[in-house]
Amino acid sequence: EDSMKRGTVRLAHPGESRNVHQSVTLLEAIEEFRFDALIGGARRDEEKARAKERIFSHRDSFGQWQPKAQRPELWTLFNTRHAQGEHFRVFPISNWTELDVWQYIERERIALPSIYYAHRREVVERKGLLVPVTDLTPPRDGEQVETRTVRFRTVGDITCTCPVESPATNATEVVAETLIADVSERGATRMDDKTSDASMEKRKKDGYF
């Protein structure tokens, strides 16, 4: 919202996904507060652009990811030095999988918002995904609205995040589901990753995550 007020982010229309603009706001915050490192929750199993990501991901003075600037992390040793204006994105659970996350949630009995578990929701099928019907994502001409039992494997911008069909009502049931899942949560739920095979790679280089 602050970036929109400053005019550095402009939406083409109210329903446009704000995900593509997040890098602008993030880079503005880094410049303002001079962060040395930012901690994120990205994992290598989520998407192929993240599969080659380092735990300590070096970013240049423009906040961009450069393949040649990434450091080796042999024996879990990290080079945390950077030049003025540069920073790191740190991903502590890079080597975790979706199953690891849910087993941890189950073991520690962590309470989660109900949206992560099965609930009834109006959706439409679009490009192989279940798109939630909301004010920002209304059905298109010819699409049939259905009420299905779904849950969200990942939660983000409603304009590009989709639920999956699921009867799982608790962490134990989600663990059982995840054991047999053959598509990552991003692959099964994110419309913004469908724009091209390299869409996430481009956003990473632009400073998205």
CA distance 15 to 34: 32
Shared domain check, 135 and 60? no
Domain with 183, as residue range(s), is 113-193
Specify the CATH number for the domain of residue 70.
Answer: 3.40.50.620
Shared domain check, 127 and 78? no
- Give the model confidence (pLDDT) of 19-62 as tens digits: 777 888 889 999 999 999 999 999 998 887 788 889 999 999 99
Cβ contacts of 108-116, under 8 Å, gap ≥ 24: 110/171, 112/171, 113/155, 115/151, 115/152, 115/155, 116/151, 116/152, 116/153, 116/155, 116/174
Give how many domains the chain has, as a whole number: 2
Domain end: 62, 96, 130, which one? Answer: 96
Domain end: 36, 65, 96, which one? Answer: 96
Distance of CA 162 to the CA centre of its chain: 12
186 confidence band (pLDDT: 50, 70, 90): low
- Give the model confidence (pLDDT) of 56-111 as tens digits: 999 999 999 888 889 999 999 999 999 999 999 999 999 999 999 999 999 999 99
Whether 199 is in a domain gets the answer no
Shared domain check, 71 and 123? no
Shared domain check, 92 and 6? yes
Whether 208 is in a domain gets the answer no
CA distance 209 to 206: 9
